[in-house]
Structure 1
Amino acid sequence: MVLECVCPWDGNLSMVSWTKVPDKNPVAIFHPEYGVAFSHHYRERIEFLRSTPMDGSISMSNVTHRDIGLYRCSVQTFPRGPWTLSVQVEDLDENPEEEEEEEEDDDDDDDTTEPSSPEVTVADVELLAEQNNNLTISCNHKHQGTVYQALLERMPLGQPWGIIGVCKKVEGGLVGEDYSDRGQVDCADSLDVDLRLTGVVPDDGGFYRCTFNTDAGVRTTTVRLSVVTPGTKTRIMP
């Protein structure tokens, strides 16, 4: 199944993001420099077609009834700014039970696949938090240029990156999309992003990455959070 999303004007495409509404669940993101990122449910099922420089269309495989719904494509461009399109996926006229069986078979096949090499991540900032304390992880854009979109991702230790928040300007307004199951993602008018964690737990530890899409290029900051029990004397090695 192909969901078409081709920006109608010429320019430089700097980012494409797909979400599923009304819950604004993340689907996929394409960035010319940093590649692609997919939410867990769509990983290995979506491919960006990129048939033209301004093409943000995606191809979705192994489609089931759970994929029915309204999808929103947001294309960030320079110099004209963002462009959005909504795509409705109708009834697939297929048997959900057969689809679930096919998915289970696919999962069995995945078990025989050798795991890929782990991604090497280097942190720009190290944070240390005591368990049960409150913590704010801030992503502040300190470079020149106009910010069109800010993306916040989290990578728990030993797991892949996942999108937990998006802040973007659409048609002159500020839109914040919070996908975090821990804490709250806040967006400022400047598109600075804060993740507020209440009662930090060990599972909050890991890497957090902020990506700012601007008219001057893309800027990223990676933060590593370590959580310790109260009273523990810990020194984070560089």
Structure 2
Amino acid sequence: MDYLIFLLAILHVYKVLCEEMFWDTTVKLAKNMTLECVYPSTDTLTQMEWFKVNAMEKESLVIFNPTYGAIIRQPYADRVYFSNSTVTPNDMTLSFHNASEADVGFYSCFLHTFPHGPWEKVIQVVPPDSFEIDAPSNSDILSEPGKNVTLTCQLQMKWPLQQVTWEKIQPHQIDLLTTCNLSQGKSYTSKFRRQILSNCSQGMRRASIVLPHVTASDSGLYRCRFKASTGENETFVMKLTITDGKTDNRHILFVAGGTVLLLLFVILITTIIVILYKRRRRREKRVLVKESWDTQNKASNNYRSPIFTNQPSDDAREDIYVNYPTFSRRPKTRV
């Protein structure tokens, strides 16, 4: 009997070591980082505890009770604190300051609730060089607050699909929203802070999720990843923007400002053209006046001082002088 118990213990340890850890959120290690844990339901929180998950055991960091408060274990007493537990009872987000490489690993946010019982969210902290969010968007989606937004992606290749995963991408963390195992037609919805509706069925080639009653906090990048049974992957990224009154006003002001600037530019160009045209007309008018004035002066000078171009010869002048009748005056005689 003892041998059977020992064998079962060995098999359990082997299973733990070989089992792949499944996590809901990936966080990039930073000196000041936050591990988000928000219980999405309205159930009553009776107690919660944060663990750091190692290969063989769970190390307790913090335990919290709504009546008795929080106890922070050593050596985390001076490095971690709750961010919003006093403001929102179901928000057990844990913040670190002076974090280091020793804080890389898996963390568990374990809640006891009434009446639904235990609830757990697993977070993976990775070094900055292992955190990749290079995801240019394939499409932009615009919506108003309060609407139900559907995000859809269509598989292009003819691969035998194995899994479809939806994620929300942020600069400091990546949240798993839902995963669909196509071979079984079963889906897993992660411990995201808001409700996500998804479809999951065998043989599907189109995946979609629904975000009911969106708010401004839902804006961001959403990634859909198809994984084939042969190992190939296909990824689609959508950018969702939830507008509000301020955004609309900024957009209106931007458009109105652009229109005014364009109008002022047209008026400026028109004014310059008119000024240049008037200057040219005045210049032409001055030239015409000057030419007319020069012509009048020339005509006046010709009238006052005639110029004979054909002067008579000396013989002709002598002939005129000889034949020109002259009258002599006789002296009177007295009687």
Match of 1:18 among 18, 21, 25: 21
Match of 2:239 among 218, 224, 234: 224
CA deviation map 1:12-51 (0-9, x unaligned): xxxxx633xxxxxx35xxxxxxxxxx545xx76xxxxxxx
User: Structure 1 or 2: larger helix share?
Assistant: 2
CA contact (8 A) 2:164 2:181 kept: yes
Could you tell me how far 1:188 is from its partner in structure 2? 3.1
Match of 1:174 among 185, 196, 221: 185
Q: Secondary structure at the match of 2:18?
A: coil
Distance (whole Å) between structure 2 residues aligned to residue 224 and residue 65 of structure 1: 33
Superposed structure 1 runs of 4+ greater than 6 Å apart:
93-99
Rg bigger for which structure?
A: 2
Distance (whole Å) between structure 2 residues aligned to residue 226 and residue 93 of structure 1: 40
* Consecutive unaligned residues in structure 1, runs of 5 or more: 7-16, 20-25, 28-37, 45-63, 69-86
One-letter identity of the residue aligned with 1:110: A
Distance (whole Å) between structure 2 residues aligned to residue 212 and residue 66 of structure 1: 32
CA deviation map 1:40-72 (0-9, x unaligned): 5xx76xxxxxxxxxxxxxxxxxxx97468xxxx
CA gap of 1:102–1:226, structure 2 versus 1, over 3 A, is same
Distance (whole Å) between structure 1 residues aligned to residue 139 and residue 76 of structure 2: 40
One-letter identity of the residue aligned with 1:219: E
**What is the TM-score of this pair, normalised by structure 2?**
0.40
User: Structure 1 or 2: larger strand share?
Assistant: 1
Distance (whole Å) between structure 2 residues aligned to residue 137 and residue 94 of structure 1: 39
Q: Is 1:100–2:103 an aligned residue pair?
A: no
Q: Is 1:197–2:175 an aligned residue pair?
A: no
CA gap of 1:221–1:101, structure 2 versus 1, over 3 A, is same
CA gap of 1:146–1:109, structure 2 versus 1, over 3 A, is same
CA gap of 1:217–1:131, structure 2 versus 1, over 3 A, is same
**What is the TM-score of this pair, normalised by structure 1?**
0.53
Distance (whole Å) between structure 1 residues aligned to residue 240 and residue 168 of structure 2: 10
CA contact (8 A) 1:146 1:216 kept: no
CA gap of 1:5–1:130, structure 2 versus 1, over 3 A, is same
One-letter identity of the residue aligned with 1:5: C
Aligned pair count? 164
RMSD of aligned C-alpha atoms?
A: 4.2
* Consecutive unaligned residues in structure 2, runs of 5 or more: 1-12, 30-48, 64-70, 80-95, 101-126, 253-335
